[in-house]
Structure 1
């Protein structure tokens, strides 16, 4: 059984609120990244008090209201499906604050966490603020929505990004890693992948491996699964006929994304 692949758990937290995933320091090998995915029915609420962690609340689908009890943001969220291929809204909440989420429609909400000790202002990250990129060529193409890239200096630790990969393409490819604190060449960032697939009965393949193969897992990842990447290279392959979406959360001791390609496969960039 894989220690990196997580299936949805469907735990009812309160009326109208279902926990699909929870990844934290107690149940995973991660030290810098935490992640939850919740489904909320219209009118239901979810509340949480943050300690020394910051949180990026991503309205994956549907619309929500988010309040830190000083500011309130309504109409957060832009889409009914991630496969509309457009960015969504998010809300950043700093450490030592509390927040409440209220669903305006049926909503799926990602809660992305990382350690934080310097309090920053709460803010809404509007869909229009997301940097949109088309990366790769040949069968290595994907659409990227940068929610919290490393160029954004308004947060302490979190990096958050969405990626859509079309049928028969590879993503996070050529295989790259960011598990060594050796700047400027490479940064140490843990990572989680939350996956959705269209049509939903499909699957993708994700491999997580290190140079010495002390970690080497290849997983068939299904709709709404999570993959944990504590270290190593982590490419994703999408079978013919299916489209892949994933939400990445990254964090580490320094908030910068510098990756190292697997030298065995870096040659494909020169084609």
Structure 2
């Protein structure tokens, strides 16, 4: 990997490098050096609980493995969760800024807590798994599956945007490369983004790997090509990002967390003009037959 900007080294965060207390990963706007997006990965042993003060940020409680109970503002939500990320979407909880939320798990588990600094204080709400839109995007070796948890058309929030992507081994996703770092009404929104990765194990239990590319524009250089494994994180303050490359034999999962300063909560992207033509090739290709993971689209 080459470096053209002094911040490049901090954009790839290996699993455990940002651990803090009960959090396997703790990315805040302060540690990321930006204004809005955050992510914590909470691991709870069976029968344990944790209380989080949300402060100035709205949060989701999104199970990665296992189920939990979420208590906030006098409301109790029981999340069924899931066995792991390579399947159907999970149910989830939304909790507002300026509250204390207690997360408990009789069976233990791993829970993503994506967050965004915000102004409005919305109510605690439950997001059922059956209500999460599942999208099969791309075609051929660009086929992937997207779970659209908390986007403008799927779930109300003040600034937070959250989705997850499942990519079969050997395929490329987050492709063609795109960016969202300028406020251009109707064309592009300014959003900071976090990618959190998990990679399926091989048939003999060995750890899988994948690759993530991020590169800058002429006036804002970046150059990142990171080998990622389960628990790793990549921060994208600006620039083109993609592809996310699932190596043959190892399915790839990543959680995307986005937020930004725009008055409108929108996710508008701009393809790298050198590679946007790739989209036109999908019309003549079938979706990868390994998709969908889990029970199917809805």
Q: TM-score, normalised by structure 2?
A: 0.85
User: What is the aligned partner in structure 2 of residue 221 from structure 1?
Assistant: 228
User: What is the aligned partner in structure 1 of residue 198 from structure 2?
Assistant: 196
The 8 Å contact of residues 4 and 229 in structure 1, kept in 2 or not, is answered as yes
User: What is the aligned partner in structure 2 of residue 123 from structure 1?
Assistant: 125
The 8 Å contact of residues 43 and 110 in structure 2, kept in 1 or not, is answered as yes
Give 5+ residue unaligned stretches, structure 1: none
SS at match of 2:81: coil
Do structure 1's residue 46 and structure 2's residue 50 form an aligned pair?
yes
CA distance in 2, matches of 1:55, 1:12: 18
CA distance in 2, matches of 1:30, 1:127: 31
User: What is the aligned partner in structure 1 of residue 260 from structure 2?
Assistant: 252
Segment drifting more, 150-159 vs 28-37:
150-159
CA distance in 1, matches of 2:208, 2:155: 37
SS at match of 1:205: strand
CA positional deviation for 1:69? 4.1
CA positional deviation for 1:114? 0.6
User: What is the aligned partner in structure 2 of residue 72 from structure 1?
Assistant: 76
The 8 Å contact of residues 73 and 124 in structure 2, kept in 1 or not, is answered as no
The 8 Å contact of residues 60 and 77 in structure 1, kept in 2 or not, is answered as no
Per-residue Cα deviation, 1:63-110 (whole angstroms, up to 9, x for no partner): 100000410012x13311112x10001110111111100012121011
Of 45, 61, 66 in structure 2, the residue corresponding to residue 62 of structure 1 is: 66
CA positional deviation for 1:270? 1.6
The 8 Å contact of residues 215 and 240 in structure 2, kept in 1 or not, is answered as yes
SS at match of 2:29: coil
CA distance in 1, matches of 2:61, 2:89: 14
CA positional deviation for 1:153? 5.7
The 8 Å contact of residues 133 and 144 in structure 1, kept in 2 or not, is answered as yes
Q: 1:48 to 1:78 in 2, by over 3 A?
A: closer
CA distance in 2, matches of 1:58, 1:163: 14
Of 37, 40, 58 in structure 1, the residue corresponding to residue 41 of structure 2 is: 37
User: What is the aligned partner in structure 2 of residue 270 from structure 1?
Assistant: 280
Of 170, 175, 190 in structure 1, the residue corresponding to residue 177 of structure 2 is: 175
Q: TM-score, normalised by structure 1?
A: 0.93
SS at match of 1:264: coil
The 8 Å contact of residues 67 and 81 in structure 2, kept in 1 or not, is answered as yes
Could you say which structure has the higher strand fraction? 1
Aligned residues: 265
Segment drifting more, 198-207 vs 172-181:
198-207
Of 239, 243, 249 in structure 1, the residue corresponding to residue 247 of structure 2 is: 239
